[in-house]
A and B are shown apart, each in its own frame.
Chain A
């Protein structure tokens, strides 16, 4: 690995985005769950759910702040680190980028209102109504920014004549073939992760012996939502595989270590790759499954890496990331599914210690899956920054000092990450739910 300006720019971009997407993911999903909890609270006249919404909202502000500042960072870094890319592609993708800031603006305004008007309206439903633009704004910003990324994977909506873009159609660029699966998967997995993270926090408290109705209701709500989003994520994930087979077959082939083009292609789960012989060791081979994943037909032909020019083969380690992401996804689906069954079966106790431990574990795992999936998707399109059009190396800045900036940003994220966790922990420790529950009981 040569640490030239392009490599350093890639590292710094990965660092910022890798940190940002943790907060961005929560930023997309948590408002939906807050809104859901408040709505149930109003509908059933159940103060427990209202308290849930309030407490989640309080913690959410802190994560949103980190999300906003790191989002600003990546927004500026696009131009600072990839000036050549922005000069070229900016003509096409500025529309979704612009729309994204509108969505963000909209969300910021209503989030401010939402947080400071809990007791301001006579009818609680008015306050709940304010959560809707927050949910719409946060989801729409994910949608718009994902179309930009989809465009980088599947550029269209322009003609390239002698290195100059002409005949530009910004809407065609936004609604490219990668957009439906990319947007769907990003939004759905953000909802899923947020639900699971909130479930994990609840389960953690329950393990510590807090078993009141408040926690039970929180667990039921988050796990039920998690179950629905897990199904959604899996279904869209399958569509994403079929998209890859059609439009970015080299990405799929690298992810699956599929070296030779063949029919009845097998899917390899896990395993290690022998660098010299390209043989897979210890992998679990599922016959014909790759053909099913790629084309929905067990006999279909799947393109292998033998058809890809050598300098266009993505790094083969993305296989591990792909398997990690899918594995965690399956685990989350199974976990929430069992919870749904357990809720209906009186014999099984959802507050079983081991079950709660698994839910706690699912929290960090779901965030890890987001990271895996994102790195897989980004590294999988190397060496291209604009698929088949512009190589990453040609897009990077020529300025000196990227290395130093990397160090500075690394320090910044360490500080922000540590403080964010410390502040959140302190916040909920000094004001545990029990205090507020007592107050509810007293008011009754």
Chain B
């Protein structure tokens, strides 16, 4: 069975925020919202769960720290504890100050890069990915709300969206 969605386009982000609140109050299901720029407070209005990418980043940072410590402990202390300029390579802690810059950099490196890669994977972004833009104007100046219309009367929904200030309402059969 073909599913129907309605694309409601808005001109203004304030209008969009208002409309999103009303749509949610009207118990309609918002499939997706396309905006040309970040709209402050939109995620809250939509009721999206907060991101956990910071937690992931923290854990990646700990992994990076662990890698740095393990690497330098093996190379400098265990494998070949050579005396280089009188630095004490008898145990890790004795020579630790010299390792701190690397520990720090690797922590940041892992935290940053793995977090970015996580972001790309979670948001399914990569080169040569086919753009999923339903309406070209949403990258420039229009805000588009996609609403699931399968279980609703299309006329009612259209009227409702018109009242929320939509500049353009399209019915899309998928």
A and B are partners in one complex rather than unrelated chains: no
